[in-house]
């Protein structure tokens, strides 16, 4: 006999995503609109940057905070695009935003601390908060408000134990983009209660129409913890490269934790990342345009399907679609759509209870696949 595993990961809750994934894996020719992984292969020149660096011997550990060239590229990009001044004491290279979130949570959370998460939310937040003994406190955002936070409810969720609020704009899964006033109000709530703010900015270029991406760190640099990623900006998910940008004490503490996590990020990925960031204009607009076109196409055509209610995406690479008029709940609907039409989407409740009645459609396939999906929605015969 050996002692039991940590209670934390012996969670008997059904994993909705895993269940649907299992069914999909047994099927052929599925139009997979479930994952937030752009279908585009990383640009050849970015791949070459990693490959060339490896052939030249960049196959070793880098400095623990990251390769100085990569860190400078992050700072320069941040200055060029957002006109914000940070220095090398404010930045760490990470294996994607996931790693940045994890080590930054570890830097600020003591057991019992509460972290406010706006629902529907990117599912990893809960695990990351709980991994350090923190308590996630969920505040629902609602479709009738375009999934914008209700600031009175947000304020009411803050207690003496609250340590941080997580903000993800553009948002996965809802596509909501928070405007200057909303962000300013969030900052006021955070300042009044001495809180940190996580600004998860992985979708920053994906804002459409009149919406604008506003970096939270421009409003509250003293308390904002930016988790950034090259995954979606450059279609580099498999490289696992991102960054943490924050006040120095957080960077230092996260660095100490990371000594026991990954020590350094992946060297070739940092080389690829340096190249990508230094040539951002060569890559990003193409992806931005592709996602804008795809989301427009989906929103326009799905809006005509009688049992769907669709708002054009304000941002992100997802469409969050109301299926309540189908007479099915979101899990049953996703299951039915998969079995009847071979189209895989994610039920909204996978992102928290506030997602009930919605499905998330990732525009991470090319137009011919999206066209197939639209036909599937148009021709789906709902059970009577």
Ligand X SMILES: Cc1ncc(COP(=O)(O)O)c(C=O)c1O
- Given the rule CB under 6 A, which residues bind ligand X? 36, 96-98, 122, 168, 172, 200, 202, 229, 231, 237, 242
Cβ distance to ligand X smaller for residue 102 or 208? 102
Distance in Å, CB of 346 to ligand X, minimum: 12
**What strand order describes the sheet that includes 114-119?**
91-94, 242-245, 224-229, 196-200, 162-167, 114-119, 135-140
Q: Give me the least distance between CB of 375 and ligand X, in Å please.
A: 27
Q: How far is the CB of 356 from ligand X (least distance, A)?
A: 20
97 vs 370, which CB is nearer to ligand X?
A: 97
CB nearer ligand X, residue 96 or residue 380: 96
Q: For residues 272 and 267, what is the distance between their CA atoms, to the nearest angstrom? A: 9
Give the strand pairing for 242-245 and 91-94.
antiparallel
In 3D space, the residue among 14, 9, 10 whose CA is nearest the CA of residue 350 turns out to be: 14
CB of 250 to ligand X, least distance (A): 18
Minimum CB separation from ligand X for residue 101, in Å? 7
The least CB distance from residue 242 to ligand X, in Å, is 4
Please say which residue, 34 or 334, places its beta carbon nearer to ligand X.
34
Q: Is residue 361 a contact partner of residue 298, using CB atoms and an 8 Å limit?
A: yes
| Of 300, 283, 239, the residue nearest 37 (C-alpha) | 239
Report the alpha-carbon distance of residue 255 to residue 64 in Å, rounded: 8
Which residue of the chain is nearest ligand X when measured via CB? 96
168 vs 211, beta carbon nearer ligand X: 168
Which residue, among 243, 206, 157, has the nearest Cα to 318 in the 3D structure? 206
Cβ atoms 134, 163 nearer than 8 A? yes
Cβ proximity to ligand X: between 98 and 258 the closer is 98
Burial profile 74-93: b = 16 or more Cβ within 10 angstroms, e = fewer: bbebbeeebebebeeebbbb
């Amino acid at each position: 006999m050996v002692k039991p595993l940590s209670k934390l990961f012996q969670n008997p809750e059904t994993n909705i995503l895993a269940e649907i994934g299992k069914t999909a894996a047994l099927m052929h020719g599925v139009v997979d609109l479930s994952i937030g992984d752009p279908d585009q292969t990383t640009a050849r020149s970015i791949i070459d940057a990693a490959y060339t660096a490896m052939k030249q011997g960049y196959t070793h550990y880098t400095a623990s905070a990251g390769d100085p060239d990569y860190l400078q590229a992050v700072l320069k990009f941040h200055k060029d695009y957002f006109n914000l001044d940070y220095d090398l004491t404010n930045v760490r290279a990470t294996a994607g935003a996931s790693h940045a979130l994890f080590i930054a949570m570890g830097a600020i959370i003591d057991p019992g601390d509460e972290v406010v998460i706006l629902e529907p939310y990117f599912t990893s937040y809960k695990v990351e908060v709980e991994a350090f003994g923190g308590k996630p406190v969920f505040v629902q955002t609602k479709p009738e408000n375009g999934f914008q936070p209700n600031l009175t409810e947000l304020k009411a969720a803050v207690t003496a134990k609250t340590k941080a609020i997580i903000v993800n704009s553009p948002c996965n899964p809802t596509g909501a983009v928070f405007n200057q006033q909303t962000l300013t109000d969030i900052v006021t709530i955070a300042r009044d209660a001495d809180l940190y703010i996580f600004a998860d900015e992985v979708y920053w270029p994906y804002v459409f129409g009149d919406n604008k991406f506003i970096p939270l760190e421009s409003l509250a640099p003293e308390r904002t913890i930016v988790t950034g990623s090259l995954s979606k900006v450059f279609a580099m998910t498999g490289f696992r490269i991102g960054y943490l940008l924050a006040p120095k004490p957080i960077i230092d503490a996260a660095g100490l934790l990371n000594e026991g996590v990954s020590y350094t990020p992946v060297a070739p990925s940092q080389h690829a990342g340096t190249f990508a960031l230094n040539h951002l204009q060569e890559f990003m607009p193409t992806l931005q345009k592709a996602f804008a076109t795809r989301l427009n196409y989906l929103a326009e055509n799905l809006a005509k399907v009688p049992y769907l209610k669709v708002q054009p995406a304000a941002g992100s690479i997802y469409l969050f679609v109301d299926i309540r008029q189908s007479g099915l709940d979101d899990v049953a609907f996703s299951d039915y759509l998969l079995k009847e039409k071979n189209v895989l989407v994610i039920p909204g409740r996978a992102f928290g209870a506030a997602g009930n009645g919605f499905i998330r459609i990732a525009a991470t396939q090319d137009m011919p696949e999206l066209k197939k999906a639209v036909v599937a929605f148009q021709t789906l015969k709902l059970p009577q």
